[in-house]
Amino acid sequence: MWSWLFQRITAVLLIVCLAIHLIFTHILSIGELDYINIGDRLAHAGLTAVDIILLAAGIYHALNGLRMVLMDYWFTSRKRALTLTIGLWVVGLAFMGYGTWALWPWIS
């Protein structure tokens, strides 16, 4: 039941980090959302850390949630569920790599 536990741990991380993300992006700094503006925020190591946590926790929570939904429909057998889990891990790791690469121009 690790997936159950990790779904809750990532949920708590997402609530805290998403609140920080939304407040900094849309309340403390709004109207100038562009390449430069994003870079200004990511110049702070703390906000970069929040974004990386959001990326990892978000992808895990999203795909594990999707997995739970899909296992209610077609991926009902043990074999299909395993195929689904492996497939989603591949997709998730790919998005994690791509998302980190996407942030690179600002954090490097």
| 92 interacts with another protein by CB under 8 A | no
Cβ proximity to another protein: between 34 and 79 the closer is: 34
Question: What character string, x for contact with another protein (CB under 8 A) and - otherwise, covers 49-88?
Answer: ------x--xx--xx-xx--x-------------------
Residues 60, 6: contact at Cβ < 8 Å?
yes
Cβ proximity to another protein: between 65 and 87 the closer is: 65
Residues contacting 15, CB < 8 A, separation 6+: none
| 2 interacts with another protein by CB under 8 A | no
AA letter at 34: D
Cβ proximity to another protein: between 81 and 95 the closer is: 95
How far is Cα of residue 77 from the mean position of the Cα atoms in its chain?
A: 28
By rule CB under 8 A, what count of residues binds another protein? 36
| CA–CA dist 31, 36 (Å, integer) | 12
